[in-house]
Amino acid sequence: MTLVCPTDYDIHLFHEGQSFESYGFLGAHVQEQDGVVGTNFCVWAPHAKKVNVVGDFNEWNGLHHQMERLNDEGIWNLFIPQLAAGEVYKYEIIKQDGHTLLKADPYAFFSEVRPNTASIIHDISGYKWNDQKWKRKKRLKQPYDRPMSIYEVHLVSWKLNEDGELFSYKELAEQLIPYVIEHGFTHIELLPIIEHPYDRSWGYQGTGYFSATSRFGTPQELMGFIDACHQENIGVILDWVPGHFCKDAHGLYMFDGEPTYEYNNYKDRENLEWGTANFDLGKPEVQSFLISNAIFWIEHFHVDGFRVDAVANMIYWPNSDELVENPYAVSFLKKLNEAVFAKDPDILMIAEDSTDWPMVTAPTSSGGLGFNYKWNMGWMNDILTYMETPPEHRNALHHKVTFSLIYAFSENFILPFSHDEVVHGKKSLVNKMPGDYWQKFAQLRLLYGYMIAHPGKKLLFMGGEFGQFDEWKDLEQLDWMLEDYEMHNKMRHYFKALMEVYQKQKPLYELDHVEEGFEWIDVNNTDQSIFSFIRKGSKENELLVIICNFKPVVYHDYKVGVPIDTEYVEILNSDATEFGGSNQINKKNLKAIEGEYHSRPYHLSMTIPPYGTVMLRAVKKRGENKNGKKKVRRNVISRG
């Protein structure tokens, strides 16, 4: 049993903003002192007059267990003999004016199930991991030239037990993991699972950053879920919120009666849009807290990455009429990414950033923010605007489809259709599509086909894979009964087929982040709203021809220019009968015809389905291209 009472050096690093494992001494730790087993409590409360530990063990009377102030900067400590794991507790903080606050432990490893709010003494150690093979695979196979398809999940509303109760972490492992595998996803992204009091905040307004929510079980049971994912080659990404936190009385807000974790200035402190408080990212102790939190999830839960929430609300000052850079946040994000990649070089650090801030996914050594992926919010907004426009008016918005390719290789992008796009009256993805019932599903298949063919990794919020018709209902499970309806069942079948193509066809992912991986065939067909382009693999002449028709018109003998003289086989057609389409497909291989078209020496004559995505694979001739790879020029500096 290790003694974790803080040393002077621990405290020094914490106040310098350099303690990246501060959870090792702050919080509640069962340990032995002078031959007696008990629990050591340590908390940072710089403005407090006194701090006591209270709980059932002392009938919530703080006079029995008063903490000792160790330094002027406000570290308080107390060892309570014979106090074991499982006891509930809070900090009783006496403010300078004598008033009392009851606060949950910012570093607690476990918490009571809401609506109760006390922290629980918990030993985080002891879980035996079985994911060594997964960790070796991550080291050997970097994500940049691999397929990455992320299933974004809100655990509360994905699926419920028959009695309407929440699944446990163990039940989620049994139900969710096989489903994710069946549908071809490589990663699960969990909406925030830190402890949070209000279900409808979806975890984005947290109180316990080191406490895996007790809604689904214990921290060790969450470890078991992640371990099970890894054993099935599924990565786990956490949605993580280092920008702001909730203002509930037992949480971080005004922790010791004055601004502690938040900015002192009201305008900087208050996040008026969400009713939360912004972390003071310039304060060294807050930096130690947040960076330690990221390291904690890597060290103890083996998470594979973080989707860092609301980066735009961090790098620019909140509540400002103009975009004014927040230098504290910019410096913090760089420091965070440097620390995280030093801990785990194979981690995914994903910025949810809607701005045009440059070099978000470049290393800090090259002047970047240090993330290795960024959500492409511009692409998402543009393509959804285009899709929601009636087809007869889409020619006026042609640029909404083409613009993303101007900047697609300036960062390492993920293409997100997330929870934010299917809630608060925005409609589900399928219901955004104009037209009748059949046309809605046809256009959703088209949209998914275009998404998979577009450069960048992929993310889809739960329910999109079978065409959830209602927008996300966060207090109910997904409408699983829709799988009994033909068009929804066929949508699910199409999605699985599409993901199988994605994983098998290297041109769809190998050169995702370099210009050499993409080439327009015809970018100017505004009248017909047909876009054709090439995705290339790393080997010469390893390519796919993709045609997307965004209007409800079928074309026969349609000419498409192609670069090489070979046959082209249709590997996917979103209009196939089996997917719910009208079966305007190309059954036979298409032979390249000599004759320049679209500025290429050869062309194809083919059928273009209505509202359809077609993918054609160039058939390699026998003995062709067995040696070497093309040299490619990367705009974004990658890691590894």
Q: What residues are labeled active site? A: 309, 352
Beta partners for 236? 188
Q: HEC string of 312-354? A: HHHHECCCCCCCCECHHHHHHHHHHHHHHHHHCCCCEEEECCC
533 within 8 A of 525, measured Cβ to Cβ: no
Q: In this structure, what DSSP letter does residue 106 have?
A: T
Phi-psi region of 488 (alpha: psi -120 to 50; beta: other; left: phi over 0): alpha
| Cα separation, 279 vs 258, whole angstroms | 13
What is the rounded distance in angstroms from the CA atom of residue 13 to the CA atom of residue 18? 5
d(CA 637, CA 358) in angstroms, rounded, equals 13
Compute CA distances 540 → 512, 517, 628, whole Å: 16, 11, 8
Cα→Cα distances 185→140, 229, 374, Å: 20, 11, 19
Q: What angle do CA 95, 103, 124 make, to 5 degrees?
A: 140
> C-alpha distances in angstroms, 143 versus 179, 352, 510, 512?
22, 18, 10, 10
Residue with tokens 């299933």: 151
Beta strands in 385-439 (DSSP E): 413-417
Distance CA 534, CA 625 (A): 18
Q: How far apart are CA 15 and CA 7, in angstroms?
A: 13
Q: What span, in angstroms and rounded, lies between the C-alpha atoms of 93 and 67?
A: 10
- Residue that is written with structure tokens 């390519």 in the block: 543
Using the structure block, give the residue that is written with the tokens 């629980």: 120
- Asked if 517 and 535 count as a contact pair (C-beta separation under 8 A), the reply is yes
507 φ, ψ (degrees, to nearest 5): -60, -20
Candidates 461, 467, 471, 475; CA nearest to 428 is: 471
Tokens of 46: 């710089």
Query: Following DSSP, what letter does each residue of 66-99 receive, concatenated?
Result: BPEE-STT-EEEEEEET--TT-EEEEEEE-TTS-
Token output for 193: 């699972």
In whole angstroms, how large is the CA radius of gyration of the chain?
Answer: 27
Helices (H), 144-198: 155-158, 169-182
How buried is 362 (Cβ within 10 angstroms: 0-12 exposed, 13-18 middle, 19+ buried)? Answer: buried
CA distances from 556 to 371, 553, 576, 586 (A): 46, 10, 16, 10
